[in-house]
Structure 1
Amino acid sequence: MKTIYLLPVVMIFVISCSTQKYVQFRPPQSETFSTDKLKAFLKKTPNPKVVLRVPNTQGNATEEDANTYIYNTIEKELLRNNFIVRDRALFNEIIKKSGDKIEYSELQKKTDTDIILELSNLQTDVEYRTNQYYTKSGKKAMFDKGDILVRGAKVDFKLVVIQDNEYAGNYNFNYTPCLGGCEVVEGKRGPRFRIEGKYAKQPYQVVSKRELEEFFKDATNKLIIALRQ
């Protein structure tokens, strides 16, 4: 009797495993560029005084407040790596009071800052789509209907040496989910991520605060490595 009841269970298990489907996304290539002049400056000044400039959100306080934790994460990692971080609000106030014609050499004296690290582009809603899946055995195939969407993030940094008012570097990094593969199932309306619980929300539809914090911590450390190479 044991064999009669056990065999169907084993067969169902094998069939279930064989139909498991996964999606995986390839991240865009990160790019880092530093001028020779910047490299020489950082060798001479390994712990530079830096200020973080963020996207202009004047007149949109809600957006600025929403991203404050991102800016704080970047500054914390700079501090942790022995950069001297200047107050960005104070820096902006000095620029505002000085007017548009301020000389950068004068700005350096007034703010006691060496480098402006500008967060020139911040995207937290980058789309990744695919209509292809793979199985545990490595077989690739197309979904019967539709495709699947996940959200990622991207950041671009621009660096300026204040003393010379020179563009000195550009760095971009990407956050892509499901790098190690995410399990999906196909339903009547197309593919969706496998979730536990009837009312559980589909993951990867937005990038969570925790994921963004980890991404910006990692991106800042990669930036620091690029600066010190």
Structure 2
Amino acid sequence: MIDFEPDEEQALIRETVRQFAQNEVRPKARACDEARAVDTAVLEAAHELGLVANALPEECGGGGARSAVTGCLVAEELAWGDLSLALAILSPSLLGFPVADLGTPEQRAQLLPGVLGDRPAPGSLAWVEPRFAFDPLHPHTTAKRDGGDVVLDGAKCFVPWQDGLAHVVVVARDDEGLAAFAVPTDAPGLTATREANMGLQAL
């Protein structure tokens, strides 16, 4: 039988993150929501905990301690503090995990140092599309080769976007099926606008 009861180390991590959420996240949540911006001091303090870096593979420079159960416990406690700030704190994983798992050695060397550096570097993932009955395995966004380049065509929604974001992982459909691309946020033709959502105003 699978046992999802946290072990001693996971219980310690959960308690540490819970205290962080109580002392650092909750007190700043309303101000960040009203300012529609994330407090960089919260991100820097969270970065020191190594919540994302410790979960990246050792061969990529991380701690190699990736666990779905631990990840859920961390996300749950941070979201108890505030959902917007939780997403902002964990956003580097949206870039780091896909690149670590699926990226080329060149992509790892280029993109992972920002996730593993001394200062927090946001990441993002553009997968969901603004259409009824969206199917994550069959996105309408397309990727087509144009010489040595790839042209992406489509629209995404619910994409975490913070100041300093340098790359966003875009999921699209190419001739072979589902594919993901690390796209510079200053790429020609890429536009991003704030969504009129209820909640998550800090993102």
**TM-score normalised by length of structure 2:** 0.22
Which structure is higher in strand share?
1
Q: Which has the larger radius of gyration?
A: 1
Question: Per chain length, whose mean CA-contact separation is higher, i.e. which structure has more relative contact order (CA < 8 Å, sep 6+)?
Answer: 1
**TM-score normalised by length of structure 1:** 0.21
Which structure is higher in helix share?
2
